[in-house]
């Protein structure tokens, strides 16, 4: 039977799933994206104290996270953040989306013509789709696909 600490660590790792999904949006995680996700985890206060969270995050940055982890985030944590009007939840929603945008912009890849939403923004079409899904989930606009 898992302890409360183990459950907290699993939820902390799960909270980072959207950031990892943005990093994987175009099929590869670049070193810049990997660094961005790790910085975001530190900025959000996750992964520093938990070996489980850190090892899960590192594994997800080398191997695409399981679909179940992303679905679980959408079913469990996304709605909790979206429905809460508490100051910490509002701050967490804003910060999570800001960090996701930073990761998308920071992949360091050159774009083929038409591959970017806006060449100056540095966000691919695939990354923008994931960002839009994340924004919708955080706004409580139903299930994202």
Instruction: Encode pLDDT of 70-94 as tens digits.
Output: 888 878 777 787 788 888 888 888 8
- What value does the mean pLDDT take over residues 97-103? 91
Indicate the average pLDDT of the chain.
79
The C-alpha atoms of residue 77 and residue 89 are separated, in whole angstroms, by 11
pLDDT of residue 113: 46
The C-alpha atoms of residue 111 and residue 118 are separated, in whole angstroms, by 10
Domain chopping of the chain, boundaries: 4-139
pLDDT over threshold 60, residue 37: yes
Q: Is the pTM of this model over 0.75?
A: yes
Nearest to 91 by CA among 128, 51, 44: 44
Q: Which residue has the tokens 């591959």?
A: 115
pLDDT of residue 47: 56
* Burial environment of residue 88 by CB neighbours within 10 A (0 to 12, 13 to 18, 19 or more): exposed
pLDDT over threshold 90, residue 61: yes
- What value does the mean pLDDT take over residues 96-124? 70
- What value does the mean pLDDT take over residues 67-71? 83
Assess contact for 25 and 130: CB atoms under 8 A.
yes
């Amino acid at each position: 039977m898992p302890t409360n600490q183990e459950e907290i660590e699993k939820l902390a790792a799960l909270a980072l799933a959207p950031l990892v999904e943005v990093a994987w949006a175009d099929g590869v995680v670049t070193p810049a994206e990997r660094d961005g996700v790790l910085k975001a985890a530190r900025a959000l206060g996750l992964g520093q104290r938990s070996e489980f969270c850190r090892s899960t995050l590192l594994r997800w940055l080398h191997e695409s996270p399981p679909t179940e982890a992303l679905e679980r985030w959408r079913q469990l944590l996304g709605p909790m953040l979206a429905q809460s009007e508490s100051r910490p939840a509002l701050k967490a929603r804003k910060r999570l989306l800001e960090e996701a945008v930073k990761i998308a912009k920071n992949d360091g890849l050159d774009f083929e013509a038409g591959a970017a939403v806006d060449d100056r923004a540095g966000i691919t079409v695939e990354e923008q789709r994931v960002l839009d899904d994340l924004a919708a989930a955080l706004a409580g606009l139903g299930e994202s696909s």
